Homo-oligomer: A and B are copies of this chain.
Amino acid sequence: MKNDKILIDHGSGGKLSHDLVQQMILPVFDNSLLSRQDDGAVFQIGEDRFAFSTDTFVVTPLFFPGGNIGELAVNGTVNDLAMCGATPLFLSAGFIIEEGFSITDLEKVISAMKKAADVAGVAIVTGDTKVVPIGAADQLFINTSGIGRVPDHVNISGRHAMPGDKIIVSGTIGDHAAAILIKREGLPFETPILSDTASLNHLVKKMLDASDGIHVLRDPTRGGLGTTLNEIAIQSNTGILISEDRIPVKKSVSGICGLLGFDPMYLANEGKLVAVVRKDDAEQILQVMKNDSLGKDACIIGEVVSDYPGKVMMTTHIGGTRFVDMLTGEQLPRIC
């Protein structure tokens, strides 16, 4: 970071984001909970363990096929808590609103937040509203933070992947980013692509009830599946081997990626999860996922290996192998 300017790539969720956090934020804040770099912090207070997570949403456009910034903000933090194995309980909502923003649109966003909170079974219990003059913010930004309770037997972390573990993805990748992209660019696509924004906590609960062999849960948002798998490989100091043929991608998403030069491996998802699970339990967990509407397209895409620790290897469609790196650069700013 010799350049003294923050770049768009610092917010990509990929390599530069990783560097910013690793080199600048972690050394200063310096505490063991933050350093674990999971989707939320897990700590004990009294008899109970809790998860705590925060996420800020700057998506543009605010309204897109399949949702709006309101449900995205609720589902995003609900999912971060669920990826800690927690039962999400309470959410906060912090709004930054640009002067002149439509009250009707704000009502739509707030109403979507309430609906999403009801579906997830969480309550929005505290909030804050700031208004800034025209030009000081682009329409509306929302921060949500959340608290969940971690059941006694659950111990999920990006550090827990072990060689032999199977890697499951809960459904097709890239839907959210493709929906945003089409809306943003005004592309005339016949097949509508909808954002997959959804709260995954009920699916996660079913998975945790079915097996005590779930080692890692992660939702591949910014940076996409490719970056998420790299993070897990680094945190657990293992290799990851996946098969390109097995990664579920909708034809329409594949199509737009081909047309515009995007790689679905790096597209953001807002209603999908990656699970790293004990080999012997993989089929059982997969079945539980397939029985849930949010996991119906789930599949095993690969496994954890002891070779090439910290790296992700993929066998490609044409039968070769190549390393899959973290996202470098930024494909789509303000995707979430």
Contacts and interface: CB of A to CB of B under 8 A. Distances in A.
Interface of A: 1, 3-12, 17, 20-21, 24-25, 28-31, 33-34, 40-41, 43, 45-48, 50, 52-58, 60, 89-90, 92-104, 106-107, 110-111, 113-114, 117, 123-133, 135-138, 141, 143, 145, 147, 149, 333-334
Contacts of A93: 29, 54
B103 A1 contact: yes
A116 to B, nearest CB: 12
A5 B43 contact: no
Nearest to A140: B6
A56 to B, nearest CB: 4
Nearest to A98: B6
Given A7-B99, A28-B110, A125 B43 contact: yes
B6 A131 contact: yes
B41 A97 contact: no
Contacts of A21: 127, 129
26 contacts: A5-B99, A5-B101, A5-B102, A5-B103, A6-B100, A6-B106, A7-B131, A8-B131, A10-B131, A20-B129, A24-B106, A25-B110, A29-B114, A30-B114, A34-B125, A34-B127, A43-B90, A45-B89, A50-B147, A54-B128, A56-B130, A58-B96, A96-B96, A96-B141, A135-B138, A137-B137
Contact of A103 (B4, B31, B135): B4
B58 A130 contact: yes
Nearest to A20: B129
A1 B58 CA distance: 26
A11 B129 contact: yes
A220 B242 CA distance: 56
A102 to B, nearest CB: 6
Given A29-B124, A333-B131, A52 B7 contact: no
Given A132-B334, A133-B333, A135-B138, 10 more contacts: A9-B131, A11-B130, A20-B129, A28-B110, A29-B113, A29-B127, A33-B90, A48-B48, A54-B94, A58-B137
B103 A3 contact: yes
Contacts of A127: 21, 25, 29, 34, 54
Contacts of A43: 90, 125
Contacts of A113: 28-29
Contacts of A10: 97, 129, 131
Nearest to A143: B143
A102 B6 CA distance: 6
A2 to B, nearest CB: 10
Given A46-B46, A48-B45, A129-B11, A33 B102 contact: no
**Smallest CB-CB A-B distances: 9 pairs:** A11-B131, A145-B145, A54-B92, A41-B125, A143-B143, A33-B125, A136-B138, A56-B94, A41-B126
Contacts of A11: 97, 129-132
